[in-house]
Structure 1
Amino acid sequence: MRYILAAVSLVISLVLLGLGIGQRTIWAPPETIVSQLEQATDAPILVIPGTTMNAHDGRQSVVVTGEGEITAVVGREHDVDGWVGESMHAIAQVAEDDALVLDEQSGSTDELPRLADSDMWIEQHTGDGEVRFSIDLPIGYTIAIAGEPGTAAPADVRVEWPFDAKTPLFGPLMTAGLVFLALALVLFLLALRSHRRRRGPQRRSHRELSRAERRAMIRDAREGSVRPRGEALLPAGQGAIEAPAEADAASTTAIEPDIESGADASGAPADDVRDASDAPSTAPSTPDAPTDETAGRDRGMAERSATPARRGRFGLIALPIVAVVALTGCGPQYWPSGPSMPPATEEPTPTSLEDTLPPVALTENQFERVLEDTRAVTAEADEARDIDQVSQRVGGAALSARSTNYEVRGLNGEVEALPGIPDGEVQLMLPQQTEVWPRTVMAVVGWEDPARAQSALVFEQEDARADYRLVYQTTLASGVQLPAVASPTIGAASLPGDTPLLQRQPTEITAAYADVLLNGDASEFASWFREDGDTLRADLGRAAKDELIQRPEFALSTLEWTAGEDDPAPRMLVTNEGGALLATSFTETVRVTPKEEGVEISTSGAAASLAGVNETTSGIETTYQIQVLFAVPPADAPEGTQIQVVGYSQALLDANEVGQ
């Protein structure tokens, strides 16, 4: 019966194991989930938002096929939306059957610029006829796809996700199969053990000796008589009968109860019986009878041979048990589980200060690309004096200064170029917190030559489709400490020109400081600004101007200075203590005229090249641009806190002969 049960258990085990293996092979689900776009669009831009890309878990693979040049870019959601603007576009979404469907958005049909190479993209992929890339796109980021300018977006778009193939029956089937396999082995071993016990030699039943026969055997034992093996003693008058060899053991067994009871069958004392048993036996030794040494050796060999057998049986049973235990540690995809919770559709709750603030204008990696491209473009343009090329990366006050420098260098080859973009490491970066335009980023960048002072750079992006351009570049003053600012991942807010949150309104600071340079301590605004450490005031302030007037070469000349507003608006970002870093510029014009008729005014260098004269009797009027970076205290700053100049630069803007 045990053999039958073992066979049934084995069959059940094989069936269950086969079904379990089939769960991971024959009936295994596909390894990927594919969403294919099955409809064309007339829109020039196809947008795949982060919610669509995260419709399934895992790293996404995107394949775009079409004709001609194809561009796919990845950017933050608000950046992509800003670039697309009011233009017609299509938004891809995942339907219930996992197909990609389009939500057409109407808008302007004007031709869009090239999608590639914008400063806002986190990464971009271009190709001719096909673009293929993998990405782990988080929520809040978007993919935009476009073909050549003036054409519709590619219609063959496929998104793939790795499929976490859950086979909840694999674990139970394999476990049950191994359990039945262990049961079959146990039943088989039990059946085998029982069979081995039953197949040993079977003794035939023998006639019980009578009391008289037992007495005769005892008497013979006393007298030392020997009887042949297999022959029993009978009472007088009876013939011998044959008895099997086993009769000796049976007789001995039969006699033992009488001996143990203390008397034999005839009532003789037990001591006599024991004495008789101690008598030397004269029976000849039988060759078949094993000696004690031989019996011991055989018994040891049997024990040693039995040990591996027991270990083998234990191993056969332990193997399925170990496998079952191992299966219990398998992943949850191999076991039944409750229904999975659907992904939350509501916006995640902010968990940190950074999550509650507007995003930064640029990330650190994006700014590194902007800075590197600005270096390369500016270096090439400075060498070729190409104003169109430099205007790709330079604008505002910085472009005005370079434009004049290019003109002067074209007239006079001895005039030096303006300082280029620092080639050292970015030592501070402060992007604006904003989702709208224009956007501002400030940075402090050093030079590879440690002897040169660091430069403060201010970049601006006018609109979403424009590149960031350098609008201010000042040299930091030696020994002046910049106020503490936020990290690049948090950024800083900007303030309006008439904000009451600062000690002075930004719209008043530029003109007030220009007046201080003209009038020194006599200016009504002198108390606004800190004079200690102000190298700009030391170089161009009232004291420096009075010293210039006293020079012998100007003894017959009249020097007059006037200040004017520069066209670019100030750029401002808030510091940690509530103040602001304010980048601004203004113009200062010096007019040199003769005091007497016939006196000639001499000029040279860049001013002479621009004015077109080296000497004149009417005078020379020269205009300079002054860029300044201020540290403005907050409105609640302690009494006596003043605005400090932390950096400045000066450049020639124009030179003319008076009256011309």
Structure 2
Amino acid sequence: MRYILAAVSLVISLVLLGLGIGQRTIWAPPESIVSQLDTATDSQILVIPGTTMNAHDGRQSVVITGDGPITAVVGREHDVLGWVGETAHAVAGIDESDALTLTEQSGSSDAVPQLAGSDMWIEEHAGEGEVSFSIDLPVGYSIAIAGEPGTAAPADVRVEWPFDAKTPLFGPLITAGLVFLALALVLFLLALRRHRRRRGPQRRSHRELTRAERRALVRDAREGTPRGAVGPAQGAIEAPTADAGATGASDAVIAPDAVDAPDSSQAATDATDEPQTDATTDRSRGTAERTAAPTGRRRFGMIALPIVAVVALTGCGPQYWPSGPSTPAATEEPTPTSLEDTLPPVALTENQFDRVLEETRTVTAAADEARDLEQVSTRVGGAVLDARTTNYEVRGLNGEVEPLPGIPDGDVQLILPQQTEVWPRTVMAVVAWQDEARAQSALVFEQADARADYRLVYQTTLASGVQLPAVASPTIGAASLPGDTPLLQRRPTEITDAYADLLLRGDASEFAAWFREDGDTLRADLGRAAKDELIQRPEFALSVLEWGAAGDAPAPLMLVTNEGGALLATSFNETVRVTPKEEGVEISTSGAAASLAGVQETTAGIETTYQIQVLFAVPPADAPEGTQIQVVGYSQALLDANEVGQ
């Protein structure tokens, strides 16, 4: 019966193991999920949102096929949609069957510019006829796809996700199969052991004695002399044949007298035979023990192997065992967990800023050397572009004029991007020079619209000994404020003109109390005291020097600091007119001013215009009494020079 049960258990185990292996082989699910988009679109831009890309878990593989050049870019969703703007585009979604579908968004059909090259993109991929890449796109980011500008976007798009091939029956089937296999082995060993016990020994221990041999033994016993023994007074008694004596001696019937009074020869014989019998028995026992030991170990190993396999399977991954249904993470609504999650996103990340800064350095250096205004205007704008425009012109007239300082080539010390999803956008940074003897520069970049590049609009040299107020980290950024905000100690639109008046009038200015004098190197270099000192120089003894403000100042750019104040970047123009006191006195000039004015000496006089860029630290409206606006950096550059009256 045990053999039958063992056989049945073995068959069941083989069936279960076969089904379990089949779960991972012939019945295994596919290793990936593929969504194909075959629908053509007339739109120039195809957008794949992060929600679509995260419909399944795992790193996504994207393959785009089409005719001609193909460009695919990755950016934050609000940046992608900002770049697309009012242009008609298609948005890819995914349906219940995991197929990609298109939703057309109406808009302008005007040709869009080249998709690649924007400062906002995290990644760019381009190719001819086909583009493929792998990415782990988080929610909140999107992919934009375009073909040649002015043509429809390629719509042959395939997205592939790795599929976590869960086989929940594999673990139970393999485990049950190994359990039945162990049971079959146990039943087989038990049946084999029982069979061996029931059969007993297979050899006869002695042969049957003949009648004559039995009579001879009885006779010998009566006479008192064992069969085959030789006594001192008796003759030898003929023993039975060798075969009979060997096999029958142990079974002979001995008379009582012979047993009770054995002679000396019999005792000697018994004494001689006893140790031989014990040694033989010990050797037999030792051999049996040595034979049984490895047999027991083999039996234990045969049983332990399936048990160990079962224990090992219990440690397998959850994909091999049944589990309750789980909700995909992509369908869950993100819940803000910190203040950073509730704030608007920053204008650009640190990596993006590094690219912007490096591109600005490269373009500006090449343009400064070639005096290429068109080239430098791709990365420079505002007050910085105005100063370089004049510098390029002067250097074209006079080769001895030095170029303006380039973009600092050292490490970035501080980045403060604006918190915003709209345009224009502002980013401030402090960058050092590799030459540690040079003071750090404060750079202000602005992106006018989504399709424009960031341009450097302000570049000032930080004053020595003046510390910037504390600002937020680059991942949080800072908010901007309107020009007429009441949240600051002074309205930003008033600060520029007020400081220009301070430089002209000094302590006599009604705005003198607004600004802190301690540490203000700009006031020390170009303020009223410096102007009065210049008038007293001998070379201007016959000249009249007059200063004034020229033109309207541009709107300042500002970002909020941690204490509620703001860093405010602005610029204004200041003119200086030198005219003769008496008729016939000539006013001489040299260098860049002479080149721009076109004269070195004139009796009419020279009027020169300078641009002054300033970075202010403005206190909040609730700052303690006595807190003043601090100048933390400035720069000056020549803008124009003319002969008076010309």
Q: Does 1:622 align with 2:608?
A: yes
- Distance in 1 of aligned mates of 2:221 and 2:81: 120
Measured after TM superposition, the shift of residue 277 of structure 1 is 9.4
CA contact (8 A) 2:497 2:553 kept: no
SS at match of 1:450: coil
Q: Deviations over 1:15-67 (max 9, x none)?
A: 11111111111111111100000211000000000000000000000001111
Q: Deviations over 1:175-212 (max 9, x none)?
A: 01101110111111111111222232279999xxxxxx
Q: Does 1:479 align with 2:468?
A: no
Corresponding residue for residue 573 of structure 1? 559
Q: 1:428 aligns with which of 414, 428, 431?
A: 414
- Distance in 2 of aligned mates of 1:301 and 1:602: 127
Q: 1:374 aligns with which of 344, 351, 360?
A: 360
CA contact (8 A) 2:443 2:460 kept: yes
Q: Does 1:519 align with 2:505?
A: yes
CA contact (8 A) 1:74 1:144 kept: yes
Unaligned runs of 5+ in 2: 207-216, 230-243
Q: Does 1:51 align with 2:51?
A: yes
Measured after TM superposition, the shift of residue 138 of structure 1 is 0.5
Corresponding residue for residue 352 of structure 1? 338
Alignment TM-score, normalising by the size of structure 2: 0.91
Q: 1:657 aligns with which of 618, 643, 646?
A: 643
Return closer, same or farther for 1:185/1:251 CA change in 2, 3 Å cut-off: farther
Alignment TM-score, normalising by the size of structure 1: 0.89
- Distance in 2 of aligned mates of 1:283 and 1:2: 54
- Distance in 1 of aligned mates of 2:170 and 2:80: 45
- Distance in 1 of aligned mates of 2:91 and 2:493: 43
- Distance in 2 of aligned mates of 1:282 and 1:627: 134
Q: Does 1:189 align with 2:175?
A: no
Measured after TM superposition, the shift of residue 274 of structure 1 is 11
Return closer, same or farther for 1:567/1:527 CA change in 2, 3 Å cut-off: closer
Corresponding residue for residue 609 of structure 1? 595
Corresponding residue for residue 129 of structure 1? 129
CA contact (8 A) 2:43 2:88 kept: yes
Measured after TM superposition, the shift of residue 2 of structure 1 is 1.5
- Distance in 2 of aligned mates of 1:423 and 1:114: 30
- Distance in 1 of aligned mates of 2:545 and 2:295: 118
Residue type at the aligned position of 1:291: T
CA contact (8 A) 1:623 1:652 kept: yes
Return closer, same or farther for 1:311/1:659 CA change in 2, 3 Å cut-off: same
Measured after TM superposition, the shift of residue 337 of structure 1 is 1.4
CA contact (8 A) 1:484 1:575 kept: yes
Corresponding residue for residue 341 of structure 1? 327
- Distance in 1 of aligned mates of 2:136 and 2:286: 69
CA contact (8 A) 1:627 1:648 kept: yes
Measured after TM superposition, the shift of residue 533 of structure 1 is 0.8
Residue type at the aligned position of 2:133: F
- Distance in 2 of aligned mates of 1:453 and 1:648: 11
- Distance in 2 of aligned mates of 1:306 and 1:250: 35
Corresponding residue for residue 139 of structure 1? 139
Q: Does 1:642 align with 2:628?
A: yes
Q: Deviations over 1:115-171 (max 9, x none)?
A: 001000011111111111000000000000100101100011000000000111111
Q: 2:585 aligns with which of 586, 599, 603?
A: 599
Corresponding residue for residue 361 of structure 1? 347
Corresponding residue for residue 406 of structure 1? 392
Matched ranges for 1:232-251 at <5 A = none
- Distance in 2 of aligned mates of 1:203 and 1:580: 111
CA contact (8 A) 1:224 1:279 kept: no
Pairs aligned (count): 621
Percent identical across equivalent pairs? 83
Corresponding residue for residue 238 of structure 2? none
CA contact (8 A) 1:221 1:276 kept: no
Q: Does 1:100 align with 2:100?
A: yes
Q: Deviations over 1:420-450 (max 9, x none)?
A: 0011111100000000000000000011111
CA contact (8 A) 2:42 2:153 kept: yes
- Distance in 2 of aligned mates of 1:93 and 1:86: 20
SS at match of 1:291: helix
Measured after TM superposition, the shift of residue 4 of structure 1 is 1.9
Q: 2:537 aligns with which of 551, 560, 563?
A: 551
CA contact (8 A) 2:558 2:568 kept: yes
Return closer, same or farther for 1:246/1:47 CA change in 2, 3 Å cut-off: farther
SS at match of 1:366: helix
Residue type at the aligned position of 2:40: A
Corresponding residue for residue 304 of structure 1? 290
Q: Deviations over 1:191-243 (max 9, x none)?
A: 1111222232279999xxxxxxxxxx99x9999664799xxxxxxxxxxxx9x
- Distance in 2 of aligned mates of 1:288 and 1:195: 35
CA contact (8 A) 2:485 2:491 kept: yes
Corresponding residue for residue 210 of structure 1? none
- Distance in 1 of aligned mates of 2:323 and 2:253: 73
- Distance in 2 of aligned mates of 1:186 and 1:280: 56
Q: 1:488 aligns with which of 474, 488, 495?
A: 474
Residue type at the aligned position of 1:550: Q
SS at match of 2:403: coil
Residue type at the aligned position of 2:508: A
Corresponding residue for residue 211 of structure 1? none
CA contact (8 A) 1:226 1:283 kept: no
Measured after TM superposition, the shift of residue 79 of structure 1 is 0.3
- Distance in 1 of aligned mates of 2:251 and 2:476: 102
Runs of 4 or more consecutive aligned structure 1 residues displaced over 6 Å after TM superposition: 202-206, 220-224, 244-252, 272-280, 283-290
Corresponding residue for residue 3 of structure 2? 3
Measured after TM superposition, the shift of residue 638 of structure 1 is 1.4
SS at match of 2:444: strand
CA contact (8 A) 2:565 2:620 kept: yes
SS at match of 1:313: helix
Unaligned runs of 5+ in 1: 207-216, 230-241, 256-263, 265-271
Corresponding residue for residue 24 of structure 2? 24
Residue type at the aligned position of 1:618: A
SS at match of 2:354: helix
Return closer, same or farther for 1:178/1:655 CA change in 2, 3 Å cut-off: same
Q: Deviations over 1:559-583 (max 9, x none)?
A: 1100134553211001111111000
Q: Deviations over 1:435-481 (max 9, x none)?
A: 00000000000111111111100000000000000000000111111
